[in-house]
Amino acid sequence: MTPPLPAPIGVAVVGAGYWGPNLVRNFQSSPNFRVRWLCDLDVERAQRVLGGYSTVQVSADLDEVLADPEVQAVAIATPAGTHLPVAMAALRAGKHVLVEKPLAATFSEGLQLVEEADKRGLTLMCDHTYCYTPAVLRIRDLLAAGELGELHFLDSVRINLGLVQRDIDVIWDLAPHDLSILDFVLPPSVRPIAVAAHGADGIGAGRACVAYLTLQLSTGAIAHIHVNWLSPVKVRTAIFGGSKRTLVWDDLNPSQRLSIYDRGVDVSSPDELGDEQRRDILVSYRSGDVVSPALTEREALRTMVDEYARAITTGTPALTDGRSGLRVLEILQAASRSLAEGGTMIKLDEGHMA
């Protein structure tokens, strides 16, 4: 006899603005969830998102939503400044919580959420959507398997003629994507230990519209991130340079998102050389094949929703759990401090996540 399928997880989505409708659509298409509520201060907007024939309930009252015993999980797509009170209320009501990036407006607020979820044995997950793209999942696997060798550098560019935000600068708007990807793909033994940020406000917006982040990694490698609201062309590329191979990710090229180059620089140490060459280090250039791995196209948000269900049902941390969101917040705060201090290198606190 076939065992009965587990009942879908009742979920409420909070926020019907830009991101909320995407969450609603993916939760509704997942057999693991049943959308019970869409909560937004603008009830008419929420009703427009759902359409005229939806059975999902609409409310402007978060307390009403959280009081529903059939709601076991909450997904929050509201401005970062509201993440602490909304997510904390959900956790205290005994609900599992998914939060749109960034986890919170500050590191200390994010830490409160992580500690509350731990205390109550609840899932706290950060919606770092890019981490669930087929390309990033493959990059993670390649680095973990040692296919690229030891990582020497990362160079990431995320630029376009974007919407200048009123409440945050370009670092807090765009860099969370790249920082969450870096946190996601790095092997556990490698971590950022310091960050420096430089930025400019060429249009008088009152906040940085162009910025460059430089991160020092614990292995001596370097990561460089360029974010920009003012570029007339859209670029989404990242280069992962390893000791064996170099990977190029072009997110705007659907036919060849990933390219792996067996090209690079080989260095022979002096003890491998003859007596006459021992004083010098011999540098040679390697030029091999270029491989473009096939990727299965799947919406990243759907993969993220499936991971949320897995974390809830198994009680194990999500791939992008609250602690990963906290690590991103720590770097963002340090980058803001570096920007205010003229680009000084700011060390990241060690051991605070233990």
**pLDDT band at residue 289 using 50, 70 and 90 as cut-offs:** confident
125 is written with which tokens?
């997950």
Alpha helices in the chain (DSSP H): 20-28, 43-50, 62-66, 83-92, 107-120, 134-144, 170-185, 300-314, 322-340
Average pLDDT over residues 262-290: 62
pLDDT of residue 1: 53
pLDDT of residue 67: 97
Helix (H, G, I), strand (E, B) or coil at 18: coil
Query: Does the structure show a pLDDT above 60 at 82?
Result: yes
pLDDT of residue 166: 82
Please write the tens of the pLDDT for every residue from 90-139.
999 999 999 999 999 999 999 999 999 999 999 999 999 999 999 999 99
**pLDDT band at residue 33 using 50, 70 and 90 as cut-offs:** very high
pLDDT of residue 353: 41
pLDDT of residue 351: 40
pLDDT of residue 286: 60
DSSP assignment, residue 321? Answer: B
39 is written with which tokens?
């909560």
Q: pTM higher than 0.85 for the full model?
A: yes
Peptide bond into 8 cis (omega under 30): no
pLDDT of residue 354: 33
Average pLDDT over residues 43-53: 89
**pLDDT band at residue 270 using 50, 70 and 90 as cut-offs:** low
Query: Phi and psi (nearest 5°) for 200?
Result: -145, 150
**pLDDT band at residue 266 using 50, 70 and 90 as cut-offs:** low
Query: Does the structure show a pLDDT above 70 at 39?
Result: yes
How far from the centroid of its chain's Cα atoms is residue 255's Cα?
A: 23
